[in-house]
Amino acid sequence: MQMQFFDQLFGKREQRWFDNGAAGARHGKFSGHAVSDGRRIPVLGTTVSREGLAFVCPKVFPETELHLTFTLRERTIPSRVHIDQREAMQAPQQVVHRYFCTFTAIAADDWDAVVRYVENKPEPNKVDFKARAVSDDEFRALPVAVQKGIVDQLVRARRLDPPLPGTVPLIRMQAGTVRDLGEGRTAQDVLIHSRIRIADEMRSYDTRFRVLSSQRVELIA
């Protein structure tokens, strides 16, 4: 009970996506390039997960964050990543370096494509894509004003890094049932799992909100 209290108060250190041998990730080669010191450096991707990816490159990058563009299923995906770990490997002809990275910025539709790739789900055809009215991401199915209210409160509470323009915040949501409050008013409790980088480690938080039919968002705990 005491440990749960401290987890809620300070946040618990989250296991990195590759700490368990990249379970749940998809392995396979894919192309890409990173921008370092203003130059495009080719990299070879080896693993993709919902949270990040791994690649190898002969170069040692001095940066801790990189603009990284990679290709999955002929889709070119620009992103920004944080380098969590680097390790040297002996290749047949030279020493290369393997990088394990976490996404810090990626466009919403591109992140959906990453998830489909990791889960080995087919890409929607163009007709289905245009006809799809609701996003697969449960959080982004909420009204825009509600999404903004939740993100703003998480950022103020230092439980989420401010998302860059045009990117989706890397959070997950569990939605409760919609309750009738009478007189046409409803309320729904949602649990938001968010992450924020502090120094060189990720901390995760679970925050409960109440979403009212007026699109007002109340922080519960």
pLDDT, position 129:
36
Helix (H, G, I), strand (E, B) or coil at 122: coil
Question: Which residues, 6+ apart, have CB-to-CB distance to 122 below 8 Å?
Answer: 116
Q: Where is average pLDDT lowest: 17-26, 122-131, 161-170, 174-183?
A: 122-131
Q: Where is average pLDDT lowest: 69-73, 144-148, 149-153, 163-167?
A: 163-167
What percent of the chain lies above the pLDDT cut of 70? 86
Task: Give the H/E segment covering residue 72.
Answer: strand 65-72
Measured CA distances, 92 to 89, 96, 98, 153 (Å): 10, 10, 15, 51
Asked whether 168 and 109 are in contact (CB, 8 A), the reply is no
Instruction: Grade residue 213 by pLDDT with cuts at 50, 70 and 90.
Output: confident
Q: What is the pLDDT of residues 24-82, one digit of tens each?
A: 899 999 999 999 988 899 999 999 999 999 999 999 999 999 999 999 998 999 999 99
Which tokens sit at 158? 């230092």
Q: What is the pLDDT of residues 75-113, one digit of tens each?
A: 999 999 999 999 998 878 889 999 999 998 888 788 888
Which residue type occupies 30? F
Domain ranges in the chain are: 2-131, 139-219
pLDDT, position 13:
54
Helix (H, G, I), strand (E, B) or coil at 142: coil
Specify the residue for token string 């990284």.
68
Half-sphere exposure of 55 (CA within 13 A, CB side): 27
Supply the DSSP symbol for 73.
T
Can you identify the CATH homologous superfamily of domain 2-131?
Answer: predicted glycosyltransferase like domains (2.40.10.220)
Instruction: Grade residue 151 by pLDDT with cuts at 50, 70 and 90.
Output: very high
pLDDT, position 142:
79
pTM, two decimals, is: 0.56
Q: What is the pLDDT of residues 113-135, one digit of tens each?
A: 899 999 999 887 653 333 333 33
Q: Hey, how many other C-beta atoms are within 10 angstroms of the C-beta on 3?
A: 8
